A and B are shown apart, each in its own frame.
Chain A
Amino acid sequence: MNLLNNFSKNKTEDSLQPSRRKFLIGAVNSALVMAFAPLTMSLTASASEVIKQNGFSPSIWFEINTLGEITVHVARCEMGQHVGTALAQIVAEELGANWDDIRVEHASSDPKWGFVMTGGSWSVFQMYKPLSQAGAAGRITLIEAGAKLLGVAPKSCDLKDSKVISGNKSVTFAEIIKQGKFDRTFTPEEMNKLPIKSPDKRHTIGFDRLALDVPPKTNGKAVYGIDVELEGMVYARPIIPPTRYGSKVLSVDDSNAKQIKGYLGYEILKDQSNWIEGWVSVIAESYHSAIKASDAIKVSYKSGDTTNVSEQDIIEEGRKLVNTKSAGVLFVNDGDIDKAFDSAASTLDATYITHTAMHFQMEPLNALAEFKDGVWHIHCGNQSHSLTLPAVAKALGVSDDSVIVHQYYLGGGFGRRAYGDYAIPAALTAKQYGKPVKLIFTRPDDAKFDQARSASVQKVSAAINDKNELVGYEHNISAGWPTLSMAPGFMPKGIDNTGNFDPFSTSGSDHWYTIANNRVRTINNPLAQKTFTPGWLRSVGPGWISFGAESFIDEVAHELKKDPVEMRLAMLDGKGKNSGHHPQSVHGAKRLKFVLENCKKAANWGQKLPKNEGLGIATSFGQEREMPTWIACAAHVAVNPTSGEITVKKIFMTIDCGTVVHPDSALAQIEGSILWGVSLALHEGTEVRDGNYVATNFHNYTPLRMNNMPEMDINFVESKEFPVGLGEPGVIAVAPAIANAVFNATGIRLRELPMKPEHIRQQSKQA
């Protein structure tokens, strides 16, 4: 199962997928334009006519103008990963283009793009092939036109430095565009057969280019959603009700707000989709006045039924679920797990808990909404038009085609801006108040409306045979499910057909170790689900599931008196279902074995360390089994036995993500991911109390700062294989590597995230 396909197949017609579309090359307004068109679109006219008549602008993939400037249209958002640069590199490679000629445009919403989501570490993985092929089609077209101008055979031509070259003759792209005529259509079959440059001829992919979005982010010029202004707009701040669902406003008293200069009034929001209930929006001439006025307004509510829910309640619910036989949905069922346990010489189990973790992306949630000429214009940074637009339309009670979502830079996404529900209160306020409204969440508002990573409970059990071998492995996992709340149509059925499950909250349990008998059950935690909206947080399911899985493998190794690295290597035999497949997981588990061996060496596994210091190792395979980013991580920690404080001294990481398109961005993603991993393992985490998250701002939610940064030793495997994702996978193995290192340093096994000094103190007292 590929999660991405699962996402897109349900929502978009197949005809919108690039592999099912015709590719058109034509001249429009004297620019060379390359666009995809659905197969169903009749092509009686020339390609140029079709592009012109259909006002194709949004689904144009790239264009070259008479100045030779090449604009690549990217239907992905920029939230720190420099995705525009990497995607443009793929096109530039095939075109033989000069990097200086490349521009990137980030597209606004349009159904012609098909299902769009910047998340899941999918972008390069998903776009690599269609963009290469689109570039290759452009290359052929330019060569044909250039050859004609040069009076040579196309066969003798090559592309370099934005020129068509044949022997010592050459003509620039700009000249070709000025003089050439272009009308060409490629069928999907022809596109599929186009030769893509072989890796040894590459001049752009795999080389560093200065990221195109960096300069405006150093001089204050980059425009984020929060920076957008419109003529005649007013400001608004929401007053968020006491429970996430089911609250109702009984009365509003704004008598104290009336003294505040700039206060304009309030609206009790009427959401036709009921996604938000009991919200009041406070409107003012300035944002500061909106903040002051909302603080002065008294709202009385009838609350929903989650006002008393606590973190402990959610965890107890999870504990009950993972211990209930046959709860949830069957996800993996290899061999005969019951028999393995019945005939085991010994068994072992452990329960792992992760606490509520939050996004705290740097730019607080915000959106600007305007109704103009019958269309709703929503201005905000978001990770997915395809999820956000219909949600806004439904809340407003209008059809999808009367909403346009305009894209900006995102001051962090990390999954919070995938389902852009923060645009709903902005749109409703604009509708009810009758003016363009810029609604901004203060940081505490943002925290209150976060879609946190749900607290989770997982129980892992092992069956050991009389030869001291691990022969049975059972994993029950339970948490609130983001996909159930925000995209329920995207949940596949379990293998026993008992129900649907959230693949994003399950991925990571389908490991690549060969173990004869293996069963995984994935279970929704209904109490978490109704108390808050569980969210996709960078690294999503694997981010907490692997903490259990990779800690447990270590526990088993210690129990069996085996070296935890050697035991893993032995299970990574690449046999059977673990042999992988072409193209993305070719060689399967053997690649994981390779990175583990490499990391073992880099970290000098087995070295003698001072007292209270330890090395721990863990592996991960990216966001999903069908798109494996092979990673091994070693953590070197020091534990203060008295205070219990854990210091991460150094993280070693070896990564095989196939072809690296943009090495410097890849490195930046891994640096950031490792630090995220450390931060989630030690510094973050909150709890639910009285139906809300306890954390409200950066004083009580404390991501890692520069003074807690460990050293990092990062190694990428040189590879020509199909590129996979990089935005999240670096996070996953860090927490279990730290937990395993703490055990090796102290003999104390931590089974809870975040790992806190008091956990160490408690356990050392008990010992």
Chain B
Amino acid sequence: MIEFNLNGKAVRIDAPDDTPLLWVIRDEFGLKGTKFGCGIAMCGACTVHLDGAAVRSCSMPISMAQGKNVSTIEGFEGKHPLQEAWIEEQVPQCGYCQSGQIMQAATLLEQNGSPTDEEISAHMSANICRCMAYPRIKKAIKSAAEKSNSAVNVYDPASSVEG
């Protein structure tokens, strides 16, 4: 039995230790916003936060989530400044990569309130967008950064639970 916090709620799951966190999130807890793209940590579609760090849930055995805070795109409840910027800049095309892009971008803004173009590219090049919506991803990150202009404003539901 493995126990962890999922978007601020305590959950427990009886699954083989080596089950990737991705499939537990999607198929056991029904949070389908986190996507499967490659299974080998090369595309970023499955990105979630583990204690605030962006991780590839496809390559993270569930045993490593024990006692940790996991947050997914659903945890942002549509209120994250990046989500607003994503709509304003009309970023998604097919949209399949975008949960992962937003989760990845969120950790950039937490460390760096006003990233340069190069810093954005360096951080985001871990994530593939096959539709190649890159120009808009970049623009949206910049506009979200300008608007919040501070790392502390970033909405994190897990923090309210952990205090």
B16, B94, B121: which has the most chain A beta carbons within 10 Å?
B94
- B153 on the A face (CB < 8 A): no
- Contacts A672-B93, A707-B125 hold; do A218 and B130 have CB atoms under 8 A apart? no
Q: Is the CB of B96 within 8 A of A224?
A: yes
- Grouping DSSP codes into helix (H, G, I), strand (E, B) and loop, the A interface class, with mixed when no group exceeds half, is loop
A216, A218, A363: which has the most chain B beta carbons within 10 Å?
A218
Could you say which residues of chain B place their CB within 8 Å of the CB of A227? 26, 32
| Interface size of B as a range | 35 or more
Contact partner of A218 (CB less than 8 A), chosen from B38, B42, B83, B127, is B83
Q: Is the CB of B95 within 8 A of A219?
A: no
Q: Which residue of A lies closest to B130 (CB)?
A: A362
Q: Is the CB of A221 within 8 A of B125?
A: no
Interchain nearest-CB distance for A216 vs B (Å): 8
- Contacts A215-B87, A219-B83, A363-B35 hold; do A412 and B42 have CB atoms under 8 A apart? no
- A30 on the B face (CB < 8 A): no
Could you say which residues of chain B place their CB within 8 Å of the CB of A712? 135
Interchain nearest-CB distance for A660 vs B (Å): 15
Interface size on A, residues (CB 8 A): 59
Could you say which residues of chain A place their CB within 8 Å of the CB of B20? 288
**Chain A stretch 463-497: residues in CB contact (< 8 A) with chain B:** none
- B124 on the A face (CB < 8 A): yes
CB-CB contacts of A328-353 with B at 8 A, as 1s and 0s? Answer: 00000000000000000000000000
- Contacts A223-B32, A410-B94 hold; do A671 and B136 have CB atoms under 8 A apart? yes
Complex CA–CA separation, A223 to B95 (angstroms): 10
Could you say which residues of chain A place their CB within 8 Å of the CB of B96? 224, 362-363, 409, 411-412
- Grouping DSSP codes into helix (H, G, I), strand (E, B) and loop, the B interface class, with mixed when no group exceeds half, is loop
- B70 on the A face (CB < 8 A): no
- Contacts A363-B96, A443-B38 hold; do A220 and B128 have CB atoms under 8 A apart? no
- Contacts A214-B87, A363-B35, A675-B132 hold; do A288 and B23 have CB atoms under 8 A apart? yes
Interchain nearest-CB distance for A296 vs B (Å): 13
- B52 on the A face (CB < 8 A): no
**Chain B stretch 37-90: residues in CB contact (< 8 A) with chain A:** 37-40, 42-43, 45, 72-74, 76-78, 83, 86-87, 90
Q: Is the CB of B31 within 8 A of A220?
A: yes
Complex CA–CA separation, A55 to B159 (angstroms): 52
- B1 on the A face (CB < 8 A): no
Contact partner of A443 (CB less than 8 A), chosen from B23, B39, B74, is B39
Q: Which residue of B lies closest to A211 (CB)?
A: B90
- A217 on the B face (CB < 8 A): yes
> Hey, which bits of chain B sit against chain A, CB under 8 A?
15-16, 19-20, 23, 26-27, 30-40, 42-43, 45, 72-74, 76-78, 83, 86-87, 90-99, 102, 120-122, 124-125, 127-138
A287-B27, A363-B36, A412-B96 known; 11 new pairs, CB 8 Å cut-off, are A216-B95, A217-B98, A218-B87, A229-B30, A288-B23, A362-B94, A440-B36, A668-B90, A697-B39, A706-B125, A709-B138
A-B contact pairs, 15 of them (CB 8 A): A81-B93, A213-B95, A226-B36, A289-B16, A360-B130, A362-B43, A409-B94, A411-B35, A411-B95, A414-B130, A697-B38, A698-B40, A704-B132, A706-B138, A707-B122
